[in-house]
Structure 1
Amino acid sequence: MGLGEDTYLLGGRALLPGGEFAAADLRLRNGVIAEIEPGLRPASGSAVVEVTGFVMPGLIDAHTHVSWAGREPMPNTWAGVVGRARGNRLRMLAAGVTTIRDVGSLDGVAFEPSGGPACFCANQIVCAVGGHGTETAEAWAGLPKLAREARGADAFRAAVRYQADRGAHLVKLTLNAAELEVTPEEAAAAVNEAHRLGRRVACHASIPDAIDIAIEAGADTIEHGNGATPAQLRRMAAAGIVLVPTAWIFERFLDEARRADAGAVGERAWPPPVEIWEARVAAHREVVSDAVAAGVVLAAGTDAIEGCDPDSLADEILTLHRLGLEPIDALRAATEGGAAALGDPGRGALREGAAADVVVFEASPRDVVRDRIRPAMVFQGYCGHVKAYFYVQA
């Protein structure tokens, strides 16, 4: 399926921009969707794939850590970290994820040659000295750092320039952990420098004060958004700031706390007690509901870290559905919403000229969400070609 070759997907029901499925055939050429309409007639010699099912844009994980996710303990060698990242990306692709937004990995690892989804990467996290992002420094001693620390506006600008010079597609800025760690002046300096360099900014903001700073600084996306008030969410909607709520990971932490409490002996550092996580999760569920009511664009992201499967986007989609989104809207958070987070209208939708990133499900969207069904086929636009992957469902 190379340059100048047509690939036809015939017979499916395609998710069209706007959220409706309709009978439509697709012609893929040179890595993009060249045509989409019912009744296409393949030219002689074209590749033809008969589709029986639902055709969707490739899924987008808008918040992941490609070198970090995985059930096994984090490797402590560069080769091990790179190998883990490669394996993670292949697992993501098999789950229908054709694009990822890596919002913090060890310096340089996301640039290593690898198959799997297209990667929009932030490279390192930019944070305050000793701030959120530095917690793993001891565990990964001797390896390139996950975070680049800064103090003062000039240092934050320099940290942003470093990521851009390394080839980062965006900047990840963490504003808080338990408490606020970055000043409004530092945040504004980082965001302005990133925008000057043509990079979007993802702000980790999980307390109300941090959310205010992210909005004022002009962040493009807010990651997590815990504690966001209805007024803040209305400001986000008006400014076009995308919310990546990473709802599933907090539900997972609550499950961890319940299991830990069941077998607890004495005090522990992690996870906090069940009652603390129950309150946090209940509050975050309200944030997601209020965000929808305010008209904030949601993007699905896993925040898959050590101990989490890298291909957990289906869990985030299901969680968003359980929090009140219709199945099709939860799926759109993983397609159109992800593209909005990336700032890339050429992804996340089946339209002419968009990337030929396409997934085919044999089940209905409602069943896909409810049962976390994996795709039967994945097509990926890549360097002017179209890659095709076919999976046998268990």
Structure 2
Amino acid sequence: MRIWGIALPARTPVSFVVDGERLRASGSSTSDGPWLLPGLADVHSHPGTEAPADEYAHEVFRRHMLAHRAAGVLTVRSPGSADPVRDRPDDLDLPRLARSGQWLATPGRFFPDAGRRISESELPEAAVEEAALGWCKVIGDWMPDDPPVPLDVLTATVDAVHAVGGRVAVHCQTAEGCRNAVLAGADSLEHGMHLDHSLLPRMAAQGTALVPTFSAFAKSIENIEASSADQRLKDWIRDGWEHAFPTVRAAHEAGVTVLAGTDNKPCGQVAAEISWLVEAGMPVEAAIGAGSWTARAWLGLPGLVDGGFADVVAYDADPTEDPDVLLRPKQIVLRGKVVV
């Protein structure tokens, strides 16, 4: 099979033949072909459960991943899972999965009965165990009046995981929780609602990414007035939502890697998350990269290059000129096979 067109982000004509699951450069292309992306990426999704406390179900996992695939999302990172998800021979028709172990929740943090419950003293060892899948996810804080995981504990956890070659995602929403995650050297901040902008240069320097998950909080904002939460919590959520927009813009301008993750159901909605990033002030091309080539590179995956994965989404028009084009993939190729 031959794949040809104009590759983003370079906007260069390319031509490949598919060799198994790999792309091999083949001849030259013209400038009038379809626009090509190396697949979209959702770096914060939890396939396999509808809610954090649900028991993992593989049929639900497949349904979620197929919804991602239908939208052109060919790579998914699951930072925290109800059950460790491993490759199965019958799942090779699904998007690539960057795995994490279970959520790691210390006392007083996270949803009741969700995640792996451990003490603070157990956190470094447990994180190393969960990071055997590549990533681990630490619940670094919770409600606004709750203290976050102490900085010394979180630092020891990050250091222990890095020592074995793993990476650490930290759920953080409070200002202090975000601060501790940055100072501990976490690989990614999940949410970062009340992140202090003075920390952005440090994040950029040490390579800590920000995954703001607008899609998840947009749903919370829609339902906040009807919720039973007290007024202080409602105000805190609203303030965090309003703070997230200038935070994303400032993070991008500071050189922080900002990535698209939905943390929301239904799956396959990363194009909407990209639109939120644009609304927050990221340039369109950078926002699309946050849900495609930038995210893939951050996860260690190649783009549209000779020897890269044969994961390609083709569009009739340039999505950097009109991001709504992302909602209308012309062709989707995953692991060298046409799926749409």
Normalised to the residue count of structure 2, the TM-score between the two structures is 0.89
Q: Give the aligned residue type for 2:206.
A: A
1:74 Cα deviation after fit: 8.7
Aligned residue in 2 for 1:295: 255
Equivalent of 1:14 in 7, 23, 37: 7
Aligned residue in 1 for 2:39: 58
1:325 Cα deviation after fit: 2.1
1:372 Cα deviation after fit: 5.0
Q: Give SS of 1:25's match.
A: strand
1:310 Cα deviation after fit: 0.9
Q: Give SS of 1:311's match.
A: coil
Q: Give SS of 1:24's match.
A: strand
Aligned residue in 2 for 1:4: none
Equivalent of 1:330 in 287, 308, 318: 287
Aligned residue-pair number:
335
User: Following the alignment from structure 1 to structure 2, what is the Cα–Cα distance between the partners of residues 297 and 247?
Assistant: 16
User: Following the alignment from structure 1 to structure 2, what is the Cα–Cα distance between the partners of residues 125 and 77?
Assistant: 13
Query: Is 2:328 the counterpart of 1:374?
Result: yes
Residues 6, 34 of structure 2: 8 Å contact kept: yes
Equivalent of 2:319 in 357, 360, 365: 365
User: Following the alignment from structure 1 to structure 2, what is the Cα–Cα distance between the partners of residues 108 and 311?
Assistant: 21
Query: Is 2:150 the counterpart of 1:183?
Result: yes
Query: Is 2:183 the counterpart of 1:207?
Result: no
Normalised to the residue count of structure 1, the TM-score between the two structures is 0.77
1:283 Cα deviation after fit: 0.8
Residues 124, 147 of structure 1: 8 Å contact kept: yes
Q: Give SS of 1:329's match.
A: helix
1:36 Cα deviation after fit: 6.7
Q: Give the aligned residue type for 1:297.
A: T
Q: Give SS of 2:60's match.
A: helix
Q: Give SS of 1:124's match.
A: strand
Q: Which moved more, 1:117-126 or 1:372-381?
A: 372-381
Distance 1:335 1:105, change over 3 A: same
The CA deviation string for residues 328-349 of structure 1, in whole angstroms up to 9 with x for no partner, is: 221100123312542x0x33x2
Q: Give SS of 1:375's match.
A: coil
The aligned runs of 1:278-289 (5 Å cut-off) are 278-289=238-249
Distance 1:233 1:36, change over 3 A: farther
Residues 230, 294 of structure 1: 8 Å contact kept: no
User: Following the alignment from structure 1 to structure 2, what is the Cα–Cα distance between the partners of residues 336 and 56?
Assistant: 8
User: Following the alignment from structure 2 to structure 1, what is the Cα–Cα distance between the partners of residues 255 and 53?
Assistant: 41
1:28 Cα deviation after fit: 2.7
1:366 Cα deviation after fit: 4.2
Indicate the percent of aligned positions where both proteins have the same amino acid.
26
Q: Give the aligned residue type for 1:53.
A: P
Aligned residue in 1 for 2:133: 168
User: Following the alignment from structure 1 to structure 2, what is the Cα–Cα distance between the partners of residues 157 and 354?
Assistant: 35
Residues 259, 291 of structure 2: 8 Å contact kept: yes
User: Following the alignment from structure 2 to structure 1, what is the Cα–Cα distance between the partners of residues 231 and 41?
Assistant: 29
The CA deviation string for residues 265-292 of structure 1, in whole angstroms up to 9 with x for no partner, is: xx71399887554432211111111101
RMSD: 2.7
User: Following the alignment from structure 1 to structure 2, what is the Cα–Cα distance between the partners of residues 147 and 256?
Assistant: 25
Q: Give SS of 2:337's match.
A: strand
Residues 170, 190 of structure 2: 8 Å contact kept: yes
The CA deviation string for residues 276-334 of structure 1, in whole angstroms up to 9 with x for no partner, is: 54432211111111101111111111112xxx211111110111111122322211001
The unaligned stretches of length 5 or more in structure 1 are 1-6, 41-50, 138-145
Residues 256, 271 of structure 1: 8 Å contact kept: no
The unaligned stretches of length 5 or more in structure 2 are none
Query: Is 2:85 the counterpart of 1:98?
Result: no
Distance 1:211 1:341, change over 3 A: farther
Aligned residue in 1 for 2:94: 116
Q: Give the aligned residue type for 2:73.
A: V
